[in-house]
Amino acid sequence: MDYINTNLEFYDNKIVVEDTGSVWNTVEVMMDWEYPMMSSSAAYVTEGGGDILEIGFGMGISAGYMHSHSIDSHTIVENHPQIIPKAVEWASNKSNVTIVSQSWMEWMDEVTTVENENLPTFDGIFYDTYGDWDMVYFSSSLSELVKSGTKVTWWNSQTTETNYYNIPNVTYQAFNVNPPENTYFNSTTYYLPKKEF
């Protein structure tokens, strides 16, 4: 499935791709049962305040939580054409928010090659995307975005204390969860990854 070209359906409690043509007729992109994990992710990456990078806006749950903490700036990178306007609207009255309307890899390439500048570094990074084929580059790209003390976390679909990205020296905070039936996470324990550089 080419996520960027899919038509999303928005409900009060979830974002879905309907009529996928796969075994699952409907695939959830994000659901509101994730609130506890989004809150904890936001709290972790904003512990030191400063400049925050959020890759993936989704339903805006984590973005809202990040603004309940004291931060200097909040850069949100979102590339789905139906979610970008929702992120822009959400940010419209927040002077410290920048919306980047492209994929995070395109943004990194544009800043370094087209604009011939160094990438900004951040005090906190939260990575939560859907259908992102560039996710295999997440761990190797971190060195360009972090500084000493940067806190990084991401949506962790693993059901143990492991991470898909093979990022070393990660600690985990376990949550008991009870997700409704869905196509992306059906464990009763969620392991929130925490990495400090």
Q: Which residue blocks in the chain are alpha helix, DSSP H?
A: 35-45, 61-66, 84-91, 104-109, 138-141
For residue 195, what are the β-bridge partners? Answer: 152
Q: Is the Cβ–Cβ distance between 52 and 125 less than 8 Å? A: yes
The DSSP symbol for 111 reads I
Q: Is the Cβ–Cβ distance between 33 and 180 less than 8 Å? A: yes
Sign for the pseudo-dihedral over CA of 93, 97, 100, 104: negative
Q: Is the Cβ–Cβ distance between 147 and 121 less than 8 Å? A: yes
In the prediction, which pLDDT does 68 show?
95
- Of the candidates 29, 9, 31, 10, the one whose C-alpha atom is nearest the C-alpha of residue 18 is 9
**Which bin fits 190, alpha (ψ -120 to 50), beta or left (φ > 0)?**
beta
In the prediction, which pLDDT does 197 show?
97
Residues of the chain scoring pLDDT < 50: none
Query: Residues 44-88: pLDDT tens digits?
Result: 999 999 999 999 999 999 999 999 999 999 999 999 999 999 999
pTM of the shown model: 0.95
Show Cβ contacts of residue 116 under 8 Å, excluding neighbours closer than 6 positions: none
In the prediction, which pLDDT does 23 show?
53
DSSP string, 68-97: TS--SEEEEE---TTTHHHHHHHHTT-TTE
The DSSP symbol for 114 reads I
Q: In this structure, what token pair is assigned to residue 48? A: 């030191």
